[in-house]
């Protein structure tokens, strides 16, 4: 009996029919056109009558957004669902939150479910903040009494007391999001299904979301969490499910699943290209010079899109220039999600000249241990001849994730950590003599 | 009732195995929603109330003269119809009812009917953002639009009472049957509305059908004239238009015995209303699962 499963999915599948336009013959006979149109008209009519969605196109193809998906989630577990775009994450979430029905298979869910695929669902711009709290709460499944009980808490969380009776169309976007999230944060379901809601809002807001979700998980609630942000999956979820092309590829601990996910990207032949932080669009013309490519490498020299907190990392930058005998410098700028600069690395052309071969040159910036907390960071890179002569500046061109260091407890890992820096530290209880000394002075 | 069960549900989250056994189990599989349809609809009645309230609040917030629309529109139409049908065409009235009252008694159900038809038909597409993001029985959305139409109806009805006072016209006991005919008007419009709103999800051209049908229907239905103007041998056929039965019913109960209810025709209208309601609900239920995929 031991295991207490609250979500059990068995052989879940969802298919869509998509239409293709058949290749057009080289010459088109009017007779064919009429025949085809008549056929399509007939099909459309029967579809309408039978209540089936009609499909455009001449050839129909089944497309399985999900297939044979089985998994179990236990009470109190926080599970991440990861996968590339089109892997079926959103479809799975929509099936779990009952928005669409599975084509085959079944899911059993025990307990009160709330799904949060968006913050502020149902908000009406003409209604006031107060009215929208009731509306949004009801849409998310709260009862009227429940909303009334939590009303004061919600407005305190959102910090919009003064604008409670103002239509939300007059709110700033920040206020709007705060209010929307405040309602969502006060849902108290037993099972919470969350989509990439963290993608909206600024970094502070994301932190607040993560903190709140951490609390939810701490209260023994079950959470299913879909995200592209490996940092937050690693931070929040103990286990994860990897979806590949609509099928479950792997289920395991979140660190295992994340490394498998990123490894799957590496297997492609053009590994460096596909995993690069930045690749120059070759259709743009190069004048004096340009940054061609920037890649982040892990300790084994493999291109990656995330690193662990406090781990060694290398940024490799490849540039092209016609000014190949001029002293050229490469800058790398790391910023946090609020756009605050955290570090700027600058190569010295006298010590590290760019060695051009066939017009291209690479330079690596090696960092022994990247002292950043888990989260998302922005990467920018530039090629310059001098401080006043910047040849190519790709500001904030890429985002990379830093995951919490699983191995080193000296680097802060709390989900409530604030700031950006992961500084190695220890806490020590001082000896008695040490304590006494300052008082004696 | 709802609040207590809901809070019981919630507190059991951290609770013991005894309550856990009684926990609600939700099964999601193809066709499951189908079997629990009406129960599910009942469970979401609070959301229905909130959506109806939202439609009302928004309706009167965005307009300058608000509720006055519910008076101006039928009043002007009544004036025009009285002049055209009563004065120029010299159509007969029912008994010795003043012609404006005859027209207005027909206008009441017609505007109720047409408001529901046009609002409900557009409702699913108008609430696409909700449908794609949260689950609830989709029937709630078109049904909630009825509330706005009923409030408009109440305002128009108050105008009707004022007009009766002006003409010193006294309705009799038959007016007690009014709620029944209001319900009939709602049901008569709900059937085609459900069909139209479901079709509108995939085929957006159906939204052009409704204004056309309504414009057409205003002249085809006995709004500006008494239905007894239709020759006897055609009346049964004429009653296949469900609006005819509803309008006749309204006149019967409002005009204090001046108008007679043509029973075979009224029953035919009832039959058509029932068939359309069944078709509408059936089609809606059949397609509702795919709404989220299509919107």
Give the CA angle between residues A353, A357, A363 to the nearest 5°: 40
Contacts of A98 in chain B (CB under 8 A): 26, 28, 33, 135
Query: What value does the CA radius of gyration of chain A take, rounded to a whole number of Å?
Result: 27
Query: Is residue B256 within 8 Å of residue B170, measured between CB atoms?
Result: yes
Q: Are the Cβ atoms of B13 and A113 closer than 8 angstroms? A: no
The end-to-end CA distance of chain A, in Å, is 65
Contacts of B46 in chain A (CB under 8 A): 138, 143-144
Chain B closest-CA separation from residue A77 CA (Å): 13
pLDDT tens-digit readout, A100-150: 888 888 888 888 888 888 777 888 888 888 899 999 888 888 888 888 998
The residues, ordered by sequence, that sit 6+ positions from B166 with a Cβ below 8 Å of its Cβ are none
Q: Calculate the dihedral angle through the C-alpha atoms of A157, A416, A205, A92, rounding to the nearest 10 degrees.
A: -100
Best interface-test mutation with A: which of B20, B50, B295 has the largest number of A CBs within 10 A?
Answer: B50
Q: Are the Cβ atoms of A102 and B292 closer than 8 angstroms? A: no
Beta strands in A124-190, from DSSP E residues, in sequence order: none
Chain B closest-CA separation from residue A428 CA (Å): 37
Would the pLDDT of A1 be above 80?
no
What pLDDT does residue A29 have? 60
Q: Are the Cβ atoms of B2 and A143 closer than 8 angstroms? A: yes
The Cα-based distances of B207 to A401, B105, B185, B204, B281 in angstroms read 47, 28, 21, 6, 19
Provide mean pLDDT across the span B252-269.
Answer: 84
Cα(B119)–Cα(B39) distance, rounded to whole angstroms? 26
CA B32 to centroid of chain Cα atoms: 29
Average pLDDT of the residues of chain A: 78
pLDDT tens-digit readout, A385-411: 877 888 888 887 777 888 777 666 677
What pLDDT does residue A311 have? 87
Half-sphere exposure (CA, 13 Å, Cβ side) for A41? 6
pTM of the predicted model as reported, rounded to 2 decimal places: 0.69
Residue listed under structure tokens 């005998």: A325
Quickly state the pLDDT bin for B23 (edges 50, 70, 90). low
Best interface-test mutation with B: which of A71, A98, A142 has the largest number of B CBs within 10 A?
Answer: A98
Chain B closest-CA separation from residue A247 CA (Å): 18
SS3 state at A61: strand
Contacts of A107 in chain B (CB under 8 A): 27-29
Query: Is residue A416 within 8 Å of residue A439, measured between CB atoms?
Result: no
What pLDDT does residue B1 have? 32
**Nearest chain B alpha carbon to A146:** B3
CA A389 to centroid of chain Cα atoms: 36
Closest Cβ–Cβ partner in A97, A107, A135 for B135: A97
What pLDDT does residue B7 have? 38
Cα(B259)–Cα(B250) distance, rounded to whole angstroms? 9
Chain B closest-CA separation from residue A145 CA (Å): 6
The Cα-based distances of A383 to A84, A318, A360 in angstroms read 32, 10, 13
SS3 state at B115: helix
Chain A closest-CA separation from residue B286 CA (Å): 6
**CB neighbours of residue B111 within 10 Å:** 21
What pLDDT does residue A316 have? 92
Would the pLDDT of A62 be above 80?
no
Q: Hey, what are B3's tokens?
A: 């609040």
Cα(A116)–Cα(A220) distance, rounded to whole angstroms? 18
Contacts of A188 in chain B (CB under 8 A): 10, 13
SS3 state at B104: helix
Cα(B157)–Cα(B71) distance, rounded to whole angstroms? 9
Beta strands in A75-145, from DSSP E residues, in sequence order: 78-82, 104-110, 113-116
Q: Are the Cβ atoms of A101 and B10 closer than 8 angstroms? A: no
Would the pLDDT of B224 be above 80?
yes
Query: Is residue B258 within 8 Å of residue B98, measured between CB atoms?
Result: no
pLDDT tens-digit readout, A358-384: 778 899 999 998 888 877 788 899 998
Q: Specify the range with the lowest mean pLDDT, choosing from A255-269, B158-172, B181-195.
A: A255-269
Is this prediction's ipTM beyond 0.95?
no
SS3 state at A222: strand
Contacts of B13 in chain A (CB under 8 A): 111-112, 188, 190, 220-221
CA A74 to centroid of chain Cα atoms: 24
Using alpha carbons, select from B236, B242, B234 the residue that is nearest to residue B274: B242
Cα(A239)–Cα(B75) distance, rounded to whole angstroms? 66
Query: Is residue A295 within 8 Å of residue A363, measured between CB atoms?
Result: no
The residues, ordered by sequence, that sit 6+ positions from A317 with a Cβ below 8 Å of its Cβ are A291, A293, A294, A330, A332, A362, A363, A364, A365, A381
């Amino acid at each position: 009996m031991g295991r207490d499963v609250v979500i059990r999915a068995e052989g879940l599948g969802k298919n869509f029919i998509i239409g293709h336009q058949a290749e057009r013959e080289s010459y088109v006979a009017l007779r064919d056109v009429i025949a085809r149109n008549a056929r399509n008209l007939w099909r459309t009519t029967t579809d309408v009558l039978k209540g089936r969605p009609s499909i455009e196109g001449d050839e129909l193809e089944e497309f399985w957004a999900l297939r044979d998906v089985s998994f179990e989630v236990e009470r109190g577990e926080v599970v991440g669902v990861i996968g590339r775009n089109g892997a079926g994450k959103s479809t799975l979430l929509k099936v779990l939150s009952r928005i669409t029905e599975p084509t085959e298979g079944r899911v059993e869910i025990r307990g009160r479910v709330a799904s949060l695929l968006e913050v502020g669902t149902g908000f009406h711009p003409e209604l006031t903040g107060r009215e929208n709290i009731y509306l949004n709460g009801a849409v998310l499944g709260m009862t009227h009494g429940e909303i009334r009980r939590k009303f004061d808490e919600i407005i305190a969380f959102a910090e919009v007391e003064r604008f409670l009776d103002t239509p939300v169309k007059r709110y700033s976007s920040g206020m709007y999001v705060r209010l929307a999230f405040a309602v969502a944060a006060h849902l108290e379901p037993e099972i919470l299904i969350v989509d990439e809601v963290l993608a909206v809002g600024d970094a502070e807001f994301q932190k607040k979301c993560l903190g709140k979700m951490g609390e939810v998980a701490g209260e023994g609630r079950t959470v299913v969490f879909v995200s592209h942000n490996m940092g937050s999956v690693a931070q929040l979820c103990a286990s994860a499910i990897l979806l590949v092309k609509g099928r479950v590829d792997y289920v395991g601990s979140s660190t295992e699943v994340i490394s498998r996910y990123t490894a799957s990207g590496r297997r492609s032949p053009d590994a460096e290209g596909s995993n690069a932080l930045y690749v120059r669009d070759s259709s743009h013309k190069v004048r004096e010079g340009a940054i061609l490519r920037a890649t982040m490498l892990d300790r084994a020299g493999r291109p990656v899109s995330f690193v662990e907190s406090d781990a060694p990392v290398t940024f490799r930058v490849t540039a092209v220039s016609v000014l190949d005998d001029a002293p050229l410098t490469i800058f790398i700028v790391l910023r946090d999600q609020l756009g605050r600069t955290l570090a700027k690395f600058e190569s010295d052309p006298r010590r590290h000249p760019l060695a051009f071969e066939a017009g291209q040159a690479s330079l690596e910036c090696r960092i022994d241990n990247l002292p950043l907390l888990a989260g998302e960071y922005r990467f920018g890179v530039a090629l310059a001849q001098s401080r006043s002569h910047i040849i190519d500046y790709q500001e904030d061109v890429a985002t990379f994730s830093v995951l919490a260091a699983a191995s080193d407890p000296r680097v802060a890992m709390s989900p409530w950590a604030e700031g950006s820096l992961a500084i190695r530290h220890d806490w020590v209880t001082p000896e008695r003599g040490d304590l006494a000394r300052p008082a004696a002075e | 009732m709802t609040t207590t069960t809901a809070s019981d549900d919630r507190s059991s989250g951290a609770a013991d195995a005894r309550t856990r056994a009684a926990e609600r189990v939700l099964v999601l599989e193809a066709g499951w929603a189908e079997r629990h349809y009406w129960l599910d609809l009942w469970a979401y009645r609070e959301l229905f109330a909130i959506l109806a309230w939202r439609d009302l609040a928004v309706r009167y917030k965005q307009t300058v003269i608000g509720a006055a629309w519910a008076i101006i529109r039928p009043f002007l139409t009544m004036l025009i119809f009285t002049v055209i049908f009563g004065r120029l065409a010299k159509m007969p009235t029912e008994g010795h009812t003043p012609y404006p009252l005859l027209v207005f008694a027909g206008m009441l159900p017609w505007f109720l009917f047409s408001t529901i038809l046009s609002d409900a038909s557009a409702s699913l597409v108008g609430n696409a953002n909700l449908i794609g993001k949260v689950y609830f029985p989709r029937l709630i959305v078109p049904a909630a639009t009825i509330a706005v139409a009923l409030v408009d109806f109440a305002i128009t009805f108050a105008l009707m009472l004022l007009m009766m006072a002006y003409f010193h016209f006294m309705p009799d006991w038959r007016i007690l049957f009014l709620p029944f005919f209001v319900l009939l008007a709602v049901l008569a419009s709900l059937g085609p509305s459900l069909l139209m709103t479901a079709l509108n999800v995939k085929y957006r051209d159906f939204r052009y059908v409704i204004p056309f049908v309504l414009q057409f229907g205003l002249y085809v239905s006995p709004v500006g004239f008494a239905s007894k103007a239709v020759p006897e041998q055609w009346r049964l056929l004429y009653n296949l238009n469900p609006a005819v039965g509803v309008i006749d019913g309204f006149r019967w109960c409002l005009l204090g015995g001046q108008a007679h209810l043509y029973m075979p025709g009224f029953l035919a209208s009832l039959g058509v209303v029932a068939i359309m309601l069944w078709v509408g609900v059936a089609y809606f239920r059949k397609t509702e699962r795919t709404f989220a995929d299509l919107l």
